[in-house]
Each structure stands twice: as structure tokens, then as C-alpha cells.
Amino acid sequence: MLAVIRIRGETGIRPQAQKTTELLRLHRVNHMVFVDDNEITRGMLQVAKDYVTWGELDDSTVELVLKHRAQTKGHEFLDEEELKEISGYKSYKDLAKALQTGKVKFKDIQDIVPVVRLNPPKGGYEAIRKPFKQGGSAGYRGKDINRLILKMLKPGVDLNGKDEN
């Protein structure tokens, strides 16, 4: 499973890349989706490589994203009781394992918003116009996507800037 994060806005975007980001449901900067790692998805990511970054996820990162950022259709954060009701899995860890092995797809879980909203990364992005291999942020980054996601998860602060602690 791959995580895809939009890192650039819509100004000056090529029409093919714009259509690809729409198909991936990445309408805003710092939004993330989980996609299957297959040939079709890799082709789509190559079209939008200047506007997104992607890589392979670890189980622990998926679990943290589910715990701190997954939302239901009413834009309420997902707690473990709701998780049991809508997915049938007992914990975030079980659901993360099922997502990683391909038993269930994140977008197919009923009443969960398929797009994960993240905060900007702590310390900022590298150069967003450069590829990751040249010291930038765009394009394929492999397992380093987990480090970026952890920089973008700030437990204790909701998306409206209010401190939950």
C-alpha cells in the first residue's frame, strides 16, 4: 500500500496532472490518500509527480494515522468503539494490518472519509519544485514517506488549531 500526499497547489498545474490529482481525490495541499501499489497507480503517480509525493507505508505509521487523523463522514475523529462498529476490527492495529495485507481497502470502509487531512510538516517541506532524489519533496520517496507523515501528525492539536490537551 502506498501513501500519496499532495504538496503543491493548483496554480499553473498541467491539465493531465490536475485530472490525475482529482482522480486520486487530492484536491488540497497536505491531503493524503492510501492507494494500492499496482501498475496503473504507478502510472498515475508519474503523471502527477511534480505535485505529489508518495512511498510505502509501515504498519506503525498506518496505525498512528488511523488513531490521530481518520475521520467519519460527520468529520468526527474515529474512536475505537466506532472502529469496531463500522469496520469489524477490534483495534487500530488490527485494521492497519488488514489494510497493509490488502484484506480491506481504506476507501471501501463505510462511513470513513477516504482522504486524510494532515498538518503541514514540522520544519516545512524541502524544495517543493525539486524531486526527492535531488533534495526536494516531490515524487517517489520510498520508506522515507513514513518520516514525513510523522512530521505531519501532531497529536494533541486538531485541524482547526485548537489544543486538545
| CA 72 – CA 36 distance, rounded (Å) | 21
Is it the case that residue 101 has pLDDT exceeding 60?
Answer: yes
pTM of the model: 0.87
Neighbours of 33 (CB within 10 A): 19
The rounded percent of the chain whose pLDDT value lies above 70 is 93
Among 79, 82, 74, 69, which residue's Cα sits nearest to residue 156?
Answer: 69
Instruction: Tell me what pLDDT residue 164 has.
Output: 52
Nearest by Cα to 56 from 129, 130, 13, 2 = 2
Phi first, then psi: give them for residue 127, nearest 5 degrees.
Answer: -65, 120
Q: How far apart are CA 64 and CA 48, in angstroms?
A: 26
User: What are the start-end ranges of the H helices in 88-129?
Assistant: 92-101
108-115 mean pLDDT: 87
Compute the distance between CA of residue 21 and CA of residue 30 in angstroms, rounded to an integer. 13
Short-list 54, 32, 64, CA closest to 143:
54
pLDDT interval class at 108 (50, 70, 90)? confident
Each residue of 40-81: pLDDT tens digit?
999 999 999 999 999 999 988 999 999 888 888 888 888 888
Q: Count Cα atoms within 13 angstroms, Cβ side, for 142.
A: 3
Task: Compute the half-sphere exposure of residue 39: CA atoms within 13 Å on the CB side of its CA.
Answer: 0
Strand partners, 159: none
User: What's the CA gap between 152 and 146, in Å, rounded?
Assistant: 10
Helix (H/G/I), strand (E/B), else coil: 3: strand
Q: What is the mean pLDDT of the chain?
A: 88
